[in-house]
Amino acid sequence: MFKPLIIATVLIAFCAHDICAQGFYSSRMWKSQKHEYTAYFGASNFLGELGGRDMIGSDFIWDLEFNQTKFAGGMSYMLYLGERAGLRFQGGIQRVAGNDNTTTEVFRQNRNLHFRANIYDFTTTIEFHIIKEKYGNLYNLKSNLGKKLGLKKLNIGFYTFFGIGGFYFNPQAERPNAPGAWVDLAPLRTEGQGLPDGPEPYKQYGMIVPMGIGFRYGLSREWGIKLELSHRFTFTDYIDDVSTVYYDNDAIANATGGEAAYFANPTLNLIPTWTDGAYVYDPTKAGMQRGDPTDRDGYMYAVLGVYYRPRATTRGRYRGGSRKIKASF
């Protein structure tokens, strides 16, 4: 009757020793691997007025349009502040796009706008490892037979991050009947920016608030891969060059040319106009809604990354697990 109790006591003692040893081991290990470098690539998507699902544009994921998915890539450096937290500096490029012909929502279809933009951003975030990946064996021991000893550890981790950053964007539209010829939209002042009674010209840079989650898989103590999903909240509504109301198209043509007037209002005339006395209803006349200035644009990405976390080299000192010890049993 005492055999199960003895076995349980031994297992509890072994596990307690394992946990304590792991805590001591981990608390020292991160100091020898304080630097991490990551390169990543994947897909990005725009969240705003143009394109999206069959409803009014939104800056969150329920307006995601997968056929407008573009590329994303970048690099990051992280300085570990502790075993589970690090300060990450990241630079990246994302292409985003939107097109009103991807939706059946009649207002957006009739508006008939489209765009693409390259976004360059730099962010500083705090990364917190909720579940920390572990690698290999608790002790880096080998028997004379070459078999590794110790307990195998789960090497999948889960983390979250948030922070602040800045970005630059340049919305463009493709010339009609000229595939591949893209025009910068900001100088065209498609909503009458800088013209009488029009809004101020918008800045093509601003602040962002990045946040997201990710999974890490350790291939070794130095190398691993990660899968990351991030949302970038912005403080602008002009990533797609659409925000407020239509401006007088003749005034735009006189100020910046006929091409600007076309990109300001390429309507398909799907919604009939009507009159009521002196009032004329036209969904694309000056003063009518073109975008939604109360709903800021956003973008997101899903990327696969490869990270490298080198171990510090200190001559004549133990490097936190890099030394292999031969044990005879």
Total-model pTM = 0.79
Question: Residue 23's pLDDT is what?
Answer: 42
Higher-scoring residue by pLDDT: 271, 189: 189
Higher-scoring residue by pLDDT: 259, 221: 259
Kindly report, residue by residue over 246-285, the tens digit of the pLDDT.
Answer: 999 999 999 999 999 999 999 988 888 878 777 778 888 9
Mean pLDDT calculated for residue range 17-30: 48
The model's confidence at residue 320, banded by pLDDT at 50, 70 and 90, is very low
CATH numbers and ranges of domains, the chain: 32-140+152-315 (2.40.160.20)
Question: Residue 54's pLDDT is what?
Answer: 59
Question: Residue 31's pLDDT is what?
Answer: 83
Which residues face 91 on adjacent strands? 75, 122
16, pLDDT greater than 50: no
The model's confidence at residue 233, banded by pLDDT at 50, 70 and 90, is very high
Question: Residue 53's pLDDT is what?
Answer: 61
240, pLDDT greater than 80: yes
Kindly report, residue by residue over 111-148, the tens digit of the pLDDT.
Answer: 999 999 999 999 999 999 999 887 654 444 454 555 55
From the list 192, 178, 182, 170, the residue with the least C-alpha distance to 265 is: 192
Higher-scoring residue by pLDDT: 28, 148: 28
Write down the mean pLDDT value for the chain. 82
- What's the number of CA atoms in the CB half-sphere (13 Å) around residue 84? 10
The model's confidence at residue 55, banded by pLDDT at 50, 70 and 90, is low
Higher-scoring residue by pLDDT: 42, 313: 42
Q: Are 49 and 242 in contact (CB under 8 A)?
A: yes
Kindly report, residue by residue over 75-85, the tens digit of the pLDDT.
Answer: 999 999 998 99
Distance CA 139, CA 324 (A): 9
Higher-scoring residue by pLDDT: 18, 175: 175
Question: Residue 280's pLDDT is what?
Answer: 72
Question: Residue 150's pLDDT is what?
Answer: 44
| One-letter identity of residue 318 | Y
From the list 48, 83, 77, the residue with the least C-alpha distance to 65 is: 48
Mean pLDDT calculated for residue range 20-34: 61
Residue 148 is classified by DSSP as B
